[in-house]
Structure 1
């Protein structure tokens, strides 16, 4: 069983097997045929529907679908998504940064960002020299720099807070 949320408003229970679709307990016989990649023709109850998959976001489990020239945003959740939600573990991908700590002892060579600056995941934050190697320390997630606790030529100890985020 799947749960499909349409346009963030209507949530339906959907079960698909072979050519039978059950939506909120109502059974529909359907015939699907793919014309080209992402373009489908669906025949159900003697009616033909044209469907096109416009965009898919696998991380968010969403798709934008055009059905008979009407656009729908559909989010799909399966039994595992529901289980993670019930355990409070459904937002593990939404990583929030609080503090960036030094992964190793070293010397701060250069700070690449400023306080108040917005950073994206994998943006370079600073260069830390350790064991005669320059290491680019990157942002683990999106965030805004609250304060920078080090400056160039400062020595950093392992797990020392280097940067804090809002």
Structure 2
């Protein structure tokens, strides 16, 4: 079975290309990030302006037009089909107590904007202070605990909008 890539251009046009077809492109590297391609007897000048290898996202200039290109290989496609997309945005809407303990400090209030990894509160458990950080960017919808309150494991602490 041939290796297939799913290519998405500007988040609107999607097409599949086989590894064999990709390797058959008549392409000459002219400098570090620029290439000359001959396609159907037409000359095409291309340049890779930006590349984010981890997210497989590239900004490519083709004959003075700029495109955002996302390339997914077979593994990426399988991960997506299983529902485990790499880099998928986190949609955690509530924070629950990971263990029983005492709320020592609350660093946020209702309506506050928070960024991922901001310290939300401190939970003391077994004489250790555990900082509970925000799992995502968001707005605090409600606080279900007060400073000095004891909580059980899986008690609702904070909700996001």
| 1:6-34 Cα shifts (integer Å, max 9, x gaps) | 112222222244xx537xxxxx6412326
Instruction: Using structure 1 for the length normalisation, give the TM-score.
Output: 0.78
- In angstroms, what is the RMSD of aligned CA positions? 2.5
Shift of 1:85: 4.0
- Superposed counterparts of 1:1-166, under 5 Å: 1-17=4-20, 21=22, 29-33=25-29, 35-36=31-32, 39-44=33-38, 45=41, 47-56=43-52, 58-59=54-55, 61-90=56-85, 93-166=88-161
- Runs of 5+ consecutive residues of structure 2 not aligned to the other structure: none
Partner of 1:21: helix, strand, or coil? helix
Distance 1:57 1:119 in 2: 28
Partner of 1:96: helix, strand, or coil? coil
Deviating more after overlay: 145-154 vs 115-124: 115-124
| 1:107-145 Cα shifts (integer Å, max 9, x gaps) | 111111111222222111001122222221101222321
In structure 2, relative to structure 1, the CA distance for the partners of 1:140 and 1:109 (3 Å cut) is same
Distance 2:48 2:86 in 1: 29
Instruction: Using structure 2 for the length normalisation, give the TM-score.
Output: 0.80
How many pairs were matched up? 156
In structure 2, relative to structure 1, the CA distance for the partners of 1:33 and 1:100 (3 Å cut) is same
Larger strand percent = 1
